[in-house]
Amino acid sequence: MEVQFTPEQEAKLGQIASVEGVAPARLVQDAALLLIEDDRRFREGVRKGIEQADQGMFIEEDEMDARVSRMLST
């Protein structure tokens, strides 16, 4: 697979790779692999949520609001 970048994008990738101490191609490869893993986890979470919803496993809106508030206050 080949990916095309503008000269400006290539320069920025080169700068980031230099700071990280890796080749630009390796930097792009690592980023792509992280994207693949994040996508897998996201889809797995969505599937789990759908399965739980199908089983009637819900929480009330007030409880969800409380959970989000606690998460954001830490």
Domain borders along the chain are 7-73
**27 and 13 Cβ atoms separated by less than 8 Å:** yes
DSSP state of 4: -
Mean pLDDT of the residues in the chain: 95
Rounded to whole angstroms, how far apart are CA atoms 31 and 16? Answer: 12
Give the mean pLDDT of 27-49: 97
Give the mean pLDDT of 51-65: 92
Residue % of the chain over a pLDDT of 90: 92
pLDDT given at position 25: 95
Position 58 confidence tier, pLDDT thresholds 50, 70, 90: confident
What's the pTM? 0.69
